[in-house]
Amino acid sequence: MSSVKIFSASGTEYLASKIAHSYGKSLGDVVLQRFSDGEISTHFNESVRGCDVFIIQSTCPPADNLLELLLLIDAAKRASASTVTVLLPYFGYARQDRKDKPRVGIGAKLIANLLTASGATRVVTCELHADQIQGFFDIPVVHLQSSPIFVPYIESLGLENLTFASPDVGGAKRARSYAKHFKADIVMCDKHRERANEVASMQVIGDVEGKDVILIDDLVDTAGTLCNAAEIIMERGAKSVRAICTHGVLSGPAYDRVAASCLEELVVTDTLPVENREKINILSVAELFAKAIRKIQDHESISSLFI
């Protein structure tokens, strides 16, 4: 049996150490260096020959995180690793999954090509912006969902008049899956954008009068959409509103917006480094990824990791 070795690039060490601990191993020794002009150099400080190597890194800003990951994959392949599995808790550029206007690139496909070309043999990621991104890869993709983390938390809240909401039409499938599990109603927020990260108008489709509403989304960036949706839902007579988003990108004015909003709380995971600020509740995906590693190594089905 091949030996498992788990490594982390610099952007996700806080999470990688928790995943390795949950799996029952220590993080491997990897060295990341920079030349004076900023060029990145990587190497493993221990043998990986014949090993099943797992490299953990979210492709969050800056872009150097992605380059570090690619260089580590290439180094593992050239050091004769048996397999190189990439754990991408957050797959950046996933929002660029199609040509929504002329003369634009498809960033998600480009990143998939780069990961494959660098030598990755498998990708494990969580809550992609769009399910079809799995098809951009020519290698196996394990697409984990965050519902095993969020469902027990929602159950612990003991909300009586539970209703789920999607902050946009694109997230309807995700919200509907939660509503089906809890046998609850679902409402939609229909938004119109003038440009990226800027909502021009929004309206709520459905009844929220006297309901405890939970907004479900894959990520929260500037929090503009989320906070606008929460405000409109409360204006329509909701009893309370909270948001659950897997990836807490939280850029620009996001933290201030959430703190000043009518949200009871914003629940995110630690797929990205998130500050522990007012109204922010952080749950960990470490155990979920550790279980995925174990099932991959034991050649078992991962279906038990889904709700």
Instruction: Evaluate whether 226 touches 253 at the Cβ level (below 8 Å).
Output: no
For position 194, what pLDDT does the model report?
58
SS3 280: strand
Please state whether 179 falls in left (phi above 0), alpha (psi between -120 and 50) or beta: alpha
> Distance between alpha carbon 29 and the CA centroid of its chain, in Å?
25
Domain limits, CATH 3.40.50.2020, in the chain: 4-145+286-305, 147-283
Give the HSE-up count for residue 38: Cα atoms under 13 Å, Cβ half-sphere.
5
Active-site residue (options: 191, 211, 239, 291):
191
Q: Residue for token digits 């839902």?
A: 233
SS3 146: coil
The amino acid occupying position 39 is E
**Spatial separation of the C-alpha atoms in residues 183 and 161, rounded to whole Å:** 11
For position 1, what pLDDT does the model report?
52
What residues are designated binding site? 37-39, 95-96, 129, 168, 193, 217, 221-225
Look at the domain 4-145+286-305 and name its fold. Rossmann fold (3.40.50)
**Spatial separation of the C-alpha atoms in residues 281 and 267, rounded to whole Å:** 5
For position 198, what pLDDT does the model report?
55
**Spatial separation of the C-alpha atoms in residues 279 and 51, rounded to whole Å:** 43
Task: For residue 173, indicate whether it is catalytic.
Answer: no
Question: For the chain, which residues score pLDDT lower than 50?
Answer: 199
State pLDDT tens for residues 146-195. 999 999 999 999 998 999 999 888 889 999 999 999 999 999 988 665 56
What residues are designated binding site for Mg(2+)? 129, 168
**Spatial separation of the C-alpha atoms in residues 42 and 70, rounded to whole Å:** 10
Q: Which CATH class is domain 147-283?
A: alpha beta
pTM for the full predicted model: 0.93
